[in-house]
Structure 1
Amino acid sequence: MTANRVETAMDAPAAARPKATRTKPAEVRLEELMAAAEALFLEKGVEATTVSEIVERAGVAKGTFYHYFSAKHEMLEALERRYTQQFLASLETAVSACGAQDWHGRLRAWITASVAAYAQTYRTHDMVYTNHHHLDRDNPARNAILAQLLRIIEGGAQAGVWAAPRPRMAALLIYAGVHGATDDLIASRAEAVAPFAQALADNCLRLLPPPGAPADGAA
């Protein structure tokens, strides 16, 4: 070995060697792509946004987009599913923070978390649920959220906490009331979200009286 040997990259100290390029996991790459699309759709609108702009914002090749989606409408459908999953998860986290038998607390948590999440994300909601007022009543996203609420109402009824002879009807009234009231809050911007959500929960809980209590309007 000669004294004037040329140093190679492997001879350099480990800290000085160039780091190997690491490929991001597929789920991370997909999330970055969807986050870029969501931001652009909100900024420019779905129709005005191009696939080239999405991949440039995400920092990926155009082929990566077409690996996951055949067109923008497929990405919009994926964003709808993602939004629903995130919304459901935020409600489940709020409900799970309450005691397993604290049915009043669990219902209140579901209502207040619904208001907070919807008020914070309504622009994405309106973007992905383009037909949420459509006459097609078989709405998977709504049904998933309604099922979550229905489990709470049925659980409280089975525990004898409140009377709910028609639990699905009660769930529909609360679901529609929370959604409609939050729409009004968003439109008016007249109240802070947290106290509004608590007042709304107070009113919704009146729909579920204790067992044996007289119905509204009864003598």
Structure 2
Amino acid sequence: MSTSQPPSAPSASPRTKPAEVRLDELMTAAETLFMENGFEATTIADITRVANVAKGTFYHYFASKNEMLAALANRYTQQYLAELEKAVASCPQQDWPARLRTWIKASVHTYARTFRTHDMVYGGHHHHERDNAEKSAILAQLEHILLQGQQQNAWYCPNPSMVALLLYSGVHGATDALIASPQLDAESYAHELADTCLRLLPPPPRK
């Protein structure tokens, strides 16, 4: 008589995914569909079908497509900020010119690489809107670099918030010009743009 035991059944995979994974998959499905088909043409049923979830799952997280689009805009900004912060963190801690140069170049490369997503999530935004929280978060990151450089005598910048606004707008507009001219070399363009921005910051006055 055989004493061998029958092979055990493979362990079943979890029937439910963690909430954060399900949410990320739902948002990624929506982002893909919005970019492929347009926001208006995409239905909630389309999103849940691609994400392979029940329609009720969508309403567990979002009240509407507009609310999901706002969440996608926030996710885009957080990813954008994280990339810039990572790039800046690679510079020597007290080398503020290097940090500003790196911030500008990383901003150019990140925006140029992700502008289709940017245009999709911010399609209804206008640059003159005063309550643009996403823009404010990026400005705060840039203003911090300018303020620290001012305090460490890297340059003369008595009004970091105003200079941050000018640099942000200039870098954003210059990158739009780069996107519209694919024949340009992005690395050389970003390097020259950083040089130009740094020349706008004079050295501290002699005491």
Structure 2 counterpart of 1:131 = 124
Query: 2: CA distance between counterparts of 1:137 and 1:12?
Result: 69
Structure 2, unpaired ranges of 5+: none
The one of 46, 49, 65 aligned to 1:56: 49
Residue 93 of structure 2 aligns with an amino acid whose one-letter code is A
Does residue 185 of structure 2 align to residue 192 of structure 1? yes
Residue 40 of structure 1 aligns with an amino acid whose one-letter code is L
- 1:73-112 matched pairs, under 5 angstroms: 73-112=66-105
Residue 95 of structure 1 aligns with an amino acid whose one-letter code is V
Does residue 45 of structure 2 align to residue 25 of structure 1? no
- Cα deviation, 1:105-125, whole Å, max 9, x if unaligned, reads 110111011101110111111
Residue 178 of structure 1 aligns with an amino acid whose one-letter code is V
* Residue 134 of structure 1, CA deviation: 5.3
Cα-Cα RMSD: 1.8
Normalising by structure 2, report the TM-score. 0.93
* Residue 47 of structure 1, CA deviation: 0.5
* Residue 212 of structure 1, CA deviation: 2.4
Residue 73 of structure 2 aligns with an amino acid whose one-letter code is E
Q: Check whether the contact 1:161–1:210 (CA below 8 A) recurs between aligned residues.
A: yes
- Cα deviation, 1:34-80, whole Å, max 9, x if unaligned, reads 01110110000001011121112112222211111121111101101
Normalising by structure 1, report the TM-score. 0.88
Structure 1, unpaired ranges of 5+: 5-10, 214-219
- Cα deviation, 1:137-190, whole Å, max 9, x if unaligned, reads 221111110000000001011001111122222111111110000011111223
Residue 85 of structure 1 aligns with an amino acid whose one-letter code is Q
SS at match of 1:188: coil
Q: Check whether the contact 1:87–1:117 (CA below 8 A) recurs between aligned residues.
A: yes
- The 1:199/1:46 distance shift into structure 2, 3 A limit, reads same
Q: Check whether the contact 1:115–1:178 (CA below 8 A) recurs between aligned residues.
A: yes
Query: 1: CA distance between counterparts of 2:200 and 2:164?
Result: 10
Structure 2 counterpart of 1:13 = 7
Does residue 154 of structure 2 align to residue 161 of structure 1? yes
Structure 1 counterpart of 2:111 = 118
Matched length: 204
Query: 1: CA distance between counterparts of 2:51 and 2:201?
Result: 48
Q: Check whether the contact 1:153–1:164 (CA below 8 A) recurs between aligned residues.
A: yes
